[in-house]
Structure 1
Amino acid sequence: MTPITDTLRLALVQLNPTMGDLLGNAAKLRDARARATVEGADLMVTSELFICGYPPEDLVLKPAFIRACRKVVEDLAAETADGGPAILIGAPWMVGDELHNVVCLLDEGKVQAVRSKVDLPNYGPFDEKRVFQSGPLPGPIDFRGVRLGVPICEDTWSDEVCECLAETGAEILIVPNGSPYWADRVEERIQVEVARVVETGLPLVYVNQMGGQDELIFDGASFALEADRTLSIQLPQFEEAVATFTWKREGETWKCVDGTRVATPGLAEAQWRACVMGLRDYVTKNGFPGVILGLSGGIDSAICAAMAVDALGADKVRCVMLPYRYTASESLEDAEACARALGVAYDVVPIEPAVAGMETALKPMFEGLTPDVAEENIQARTRGVILMALSNKFGPMVVTTGNKSEMSVGYATLYGDMNGGFNPIKDIYKTEVFKLAAWRNTNRPADALGPDGEVIPVRIITKPPSAELRPDQTDQDSLPPYDELDDILECLVEREMGVSEIAARGHDEALVNRIQNLLYVAEYKRRQAPPGVKVTSRNFGRDRRYPITNRFRDKR
């Protein structure tokens, strides 16, 4: 084949793989290759570990899985004998007797080259050192007369690998990534990659995974930087894309001559779309026919219902109001109005008979004791049992609706409102829940399946939040105002600030100590909570892993 020396048609393949669906992922890649062939691509670039999905966690410790991955990659390699585009594909791969995270070049019917990831991340949501071995510093891959440097994801978050590639003759850096989303992540990635371009003097192409994988969201937003740091390509965020661009050699430098840039959404839209995509992929990839949730007339269940409809369509969402004697008439009205605005199936199942039965069973043991949180939690647990029964009978997954503020301080009932399979707002503080609800009432993302206009009645957003487990209850009976609570929590959770530092921001020190204690003692609840979308830099579970048994308190 005649070497290409001055022009390279490069296809960026930003797809949504399903973990472990090797044949399905290969089929998606074949479809993309057919498109790239029509567009005249020379080389396709996929995301990190595309063939199996990222992150595979301990799945890669299963020898049969590794063998299956290799077989699918080799089958794809054989298909490149047709003279069409070559493929850079990520896969778990045995190198000798070590398991590596690699990128393979598939061309002319063979696996022509393999490059291993050097810098294995082991922080936050990443624990690659648990399953992979680090590879040696790589040299470039010679592809049809072009020397490609292929650092893998974390390899570009420090300078060593890219500098090695530049020093050994790389002409362009191509970076397969599995970079999860959290707020302002796009700008953070670009700044990191700009540093590599400055250090090496080389242009850089960044291809990221798209889609939800358990709690993690991969937002795509692939891009390219010229050698002068100019952003020449920006693919869409939260959307699959296959796009081919022309790179030409101009003197000693490669330049993209036909790049396009798609605007990425603002923060509110990005947070909303991340939550929606996470819920959609969790439900569909795990084979649930739809979802069911308790619609209380409050803000949390309303926003989860709206997200569910945007994710799956109204025909796959069922909402149930579960009233008790403390349920206000306006809550009944608001829940019905929300269900009507969203166009979902809506049922009302009073819980009074079930609660009465439980109280009767417990009466001999509770005799003479003052009613307290035990009786309140019977209500929440009764609702949880009913929702799970409906899930068992009809098949939809129960959506859990607690926000990050509640999960932080334990303002939730185990085996009650914490029941369910997945929580789209688990990593969203209450103050942001209000903002996102108001945003959705005046905005509808292009990929949303829900209706335009007001989908969450305004009264749900403006009325004081309440669990309605006792007469005239509001959240502020037990908690400080949410703007104050959320600032304290963000300082404790995201920033790991000390009590005195937080008090210096204007908070009462006794209150900060109280919130710190609530945060620590609720750890056992969070360990039993369903998974949920990660949208902050430090979520519960993957990022923040505290011991349940813990007597430390930061007191001066």
Structure 2
Amino acid sequence: MNIFLAQQNYHIGNFEANTKKIIEAINEAKSRNADLIIFSELCVCGYPPRDFLEFEDFIEKSYRALDEIKQYTENIGVLVGAPARNLQYDGKDLFNAVFLLHEKEIKAEIHKTLLPTYDVFDEDRYFEPAYEWNVIEFRGKRLAVTICEDIWNLGDNPLYRVCPMDLLMEQQPDLMINLSASPFDYTHYEDRKAIIKANVLKYKLPMFYCNAVGSQTEIVFDGGSFIFDKDANIIKVFPLFEEIVDGLKLNADNTFSESIIEKADELPTHELNPERLIPSLNIDEVYSALVMGIRDYFNKMNFSKAILGSSGGIDSAVTLALACDALGAENVRAILMPSPYSTSHSVDDAVELSKNLNNPYDIIHIKNIYESFLQELKPIFNDLPFSVAEENIQSRTRGNLVMAIANKFNYILLNTSNKSELATGYGTLYGDMAGGLGVLGDCYKMQVYELAKYINREKEIIPRHIIDKAPSAELRPNQKDSDSLPDYSILDQILYQYIEQRKGPNEIKSLGFDTALVDRTLKLVNINEYKRNQFCPIIRVSPKAFGVGRRVPIVGKYLI
């Protein structure tokens, strides 16, 4: 049997575009003599549809799309993901389902059992879990079809009520198929490979695993679909961050004629999320995820041009380089807005960067605007000493200017704040925290430096001085970030333990960090939740990003 996988980039709620893409993949597979083609989880409507699922019109459109797709299945089997109405059982109105389409009919319907409710997932809010488990008969093969999370329980987790594959094995399937929408993060790819391997080792069946690709606002799907033989060797790996339709022939004896790409004993063992002080990045994957996040956000929202404030600092430099890669340098406008406290070399560095990237840029000096604010505020401020108030006026002046240009010329403002700053509140609401999309908001400061070095891997794009100089907001004379924050190399490790690893203060201190520093850092994180709650969407690349996957009370007392 020739079995193909369609690793595709869908647009949530864009049924016309998704249906066209699915039909094109079916036709390509048919032209290559495929017997069966497998798509990813909820491909018909796009994943995650969230509260769109509460609209009956949305569900109607999904079923109409299925009706259109099945007209192309006269001589090929098609497994597609879509919401299905719950017409038989008590509970929620919908199932997260897979439909087998063949001979222009719906031949079978499979429901997802294990509905994730952690991090960015909230499927139990919308879907009812499966009540029955059946192998699908197709062209002489018995298919054990599961959906994403259903293979993450190997029967050893008491939190799950059932193990779907254990139940399906009672019906003696010939192979396993999993339709997935498993997001990218810089610790997850190897974990995912390991869990698929663990399934194959347990059940001794080939596995066809199809994952989604593409970015949906903050969530990035990396693709990386797999085909495993029954001995847990990888026979085919699909590329990361690319759309592709391809497959293999499964022989009658459930073997493959193709060469093994990666042997089972070379694969990582099944250890999910091993404890790390802070992981090193697979830098090319993170770079690709961020570029895809920017590009898809703009394309799917019908935006074409971006703008950002270019300060001559590392964060704006990396953001600018990523945006130019994603959108084309001609579509990214940099605005340099030096204040009375900006150093000349910062302006020079920002100019050099834009010249290296060949993107348009403008210089607007904010000294006069800043001083007019101070003059108007003088009767109220009196002779009080310089403070954060004067610093924030500069930042908000810049925010006003760059948003004015964005409004006038239909740009979308890219935010340049990094995760270390967002975690500790080192930013100005309605100033440098303004923006339509947070590009680096899930990258700690030291990870931003890793990205800068990667961008310069072949030639100097980001001027060396930007990378080497001490980071500074330049909002007062001789200011450095270290005046307000601990050294980033230590700060980032503490933040990672608290945010990603969810360790409490005593656990973090036991790792050898200074007691006072831990207390100070965690207090900064918690008292600044109100700022992050007003922040724009952030491209997610870590196991725990600020945003929909981390819901912390603003008025909570914990550690304050």
Q: TM-score range by the shorter chain?
A: over 0.9
RMSD (Å), alpha carbons: 1.7
Within 2, Cα distance between the matches of 1:143 and 1:354? 71
Partner of 1:392: 407
Within 1, Cα distance between the matches of 2:128 and 2:529? 32
Q: 1:47 aligns with which of 40, 48, 63?
A: 40
Shift of 1:542: 2.5
TM-score (norm 2): 0.93
Within 2, Cα distance between the matches of 1:169 and 1:500? 50
Corresponding pairs, count = 533
Contact 2:235 2:262 in 1 (8 A): no
Letter of the 2:521 counterpart: I
Within 1, Cα distance between the matches of 2:60 and 2:99? 15
The yes-or-no answer on 1:548 pairing with 2:521 is no
Partner of 1:88: 79
CA 1:31–1:261 in structure 2 vs 1: closer, same or farther (change >3 Å)? farther
Within 1, Cα distance between the matches of 2:262 and 2:427? 41
- 5+ residue gaps in structure 2? 155-162, 268-279
Query: What are the superposed Cα offsets for residues 76-115 of structure 1, whole Å, 9 maximum, x if unpaired?
Result: 112223x2x3211000111317311100011101111111
Within 2, Cα distance between the matches of 1:71 and 1:57? 19
Q: Secondary structure at the match of 1:553?
A: coil
Within 2, Cα distance between the matches of 1:398 and 1:266? 26
Contact 1:137 1:161 in 2 (8 A): no
CA 1:503–1:487 in structure 2 vs 1: closer, same or farther (change >3 Å)? same
Contact 1:391 1:398 in 2 (8 A): yes
Letter of the 1:296 counterpart: S
Q: 1:116 aligns with which of 100, 111, 114?
A: 111
Shift of 1:507: 2.2
The yes-or-no answer on 1:352 pairing with 2:375 is no
Shift of 1:498: 2.7
Contact 1:425 1:532 in 2 (8 A): yes
> How do residues 394-433 of structure 1 correspond to structure 2 at under 5 angstroms?
394-433=409-448
The yes-or-no answer on 1:343 pairing with 2:358 is yes
CA 1:175–1:22 in structure 2 vs 1: closer, same or farther (change >3 Å)? same
CA 1:261–1:314 in structure 2 vs 1: closer, same or farther (change >3 Å)? farther
Partner of 2:272: none
Within 2, Cα distance between the matches of 1:23 and 1:323? 47
Shift of 1:261: 5.0
Within 2, Cα distance between the matches of 1:289 and 1:271? 23
CA 1:259–1:17 in structure 2 vs 1: closer, same or farther (change >3 Å)? farther
Query: What are the superposed Cα offsets for residues 162-208 of structure 1, whole Å, 9 maximum, x if unpaired?
Result: 11111112111110000000013221011111222222221111100
Within 1, Cα distance between the matches of 2:182 and 2:541? 13
Query: What are the superposed Cα offsets for residues 396-446 of structure 1, whole Å, 9 maximum, x if unpaired?
Result: 100000000000000010000011100111100000101110111015xxx
Within 2, Cα distance between the matches of 1:11 and 1:88? 10
Query: What are the superposed Cα offsets for residues 143-172 of structure 1, whole Å, 9 maximum, x if unpaired?
Result: 122111110000111131011111112111
CA 1:266–1:107 in structure 2 vs 1: closer, same or farther (change >3 Å)? farther
Letter of the 1:475 counterpart: D
CA 1:260–1:273 in structure 2 vs 1: closer, same or farther (change >3 Å)? farther
Query: Which stretch of the first structure deviates more once superposed, 320-329 or 533-542?
Result: 533-542
The yes-or-no answer on 1:369 pairing with 2:384 is yes
Shift of 1:226: 1.1
> How do residues 98-247 of structure 1 correspond to structure 2 at under 5 angstroms?
98-159=93-154, 160-247=163-250
Percent sequence identity is 40
Letter of the 2:36 counterpart: L
- 5+ residue gaps in structure 1? 1-7, 444-452
Letter of the 1:70 counterpart: Y
Within 1, Cα distance between the matches of 2:166 and 2:259? 26
Query: What are the superposed Cα offsets for residues 295-351 of structure 1, whole Å, 9 maximum, x if unpaired?
Result: 000000000000001111111111110111111000011000000111100110111
Partner of 1:447: none
The yes-or-no answer on 1:327 pairing with 2:330 is no
Q: Secondary structure at the match of 1:149?
A: strand
Q: Secondary structure at the match of 1:175?
A: strand
Q: Secondary structure at the match of 1:67?
A: helix
CA 1:183–1:317 in structure 2 vs 1: closer, same or farther (change >3 Å)? same
Letter of the 2:113 counterpart: V
Letter of the 1:96 counterpart: L
Query: What are the superposed Cα offsets for residues 365-410 of structure 1, whole Å, 9 maximum, x if unpaired?
Result: 1113222101100000010111111111101100000000000000
Contact 2:233 2:261 in 1 (8 A): no
Within 1, Cα distance between the matches of 2:250 and 2:189? 23
Partner of 1:59: 52
The yes-or-no answer on 1:34 pairing with 2:10 is no
> How do residues 261-276 of structure 1 correspond to structure 2 at under 5 angstroms?
261=261, 267-276=282-291
Letter of the 1:54 counterpart: Y
Partner of 2:509: 503
Within 2, Cα distance between the matches of 1:374 and 1:137? 62
Q: Secondary structure at the match of 1:249?
A: coil
TM-score (norm 1): 0.93
Q: Could you list the runs of 4 or more consecutive aligned residues of structure 1 that deviate by over 6 angstroms after TM superposition?
A: 262-266
Contact 2:226 2:238 in 1 (8 A): yes
Within 2, Cα distance between the matches of 1:418 and 1:361? 24
> How do residues 455-534 of structure 1 correspond to structure 2 at under 5 angstroms?
455-534=461-540
> How do residues 70-89 of structure 1 correspond to structure 2 at under 5 angstroms?
70-81=63-74, 83=75, 85-89=76-80
Within 1, Cα distance between the matches of 2:397 and 2:343? 18
Within 2, Cα distance between the matches of 1:15 and 1:134? 26
Query: What are the superposed Cα offsets for residues 459-507 of structure 1, whole Å, 9 maximum, x if unpaired?
Result: 1001000000000001001111110111111111112223233223332
Query: What are the superposed Cα offsets for residues 44-97 of structure 1, whole Å, 9 maximum, x if unpaired?
Result: 10000001111111111110000100011111112223x2x3211000111317
Shift of 1:217: 0.5
Q: Secondary structure at the match of 1:186?
A: helix
Contact 1:212 1:282 in 2 (8 A): yes
Within 2, Cα distance between the matches of 1:231 and 1:116? 27
Contact 1:234 1:262 in 2 (8 A): no
CA 1:525–1:262 in structure 2 vs 1: closer, same or farther (change >3 Å)? farther
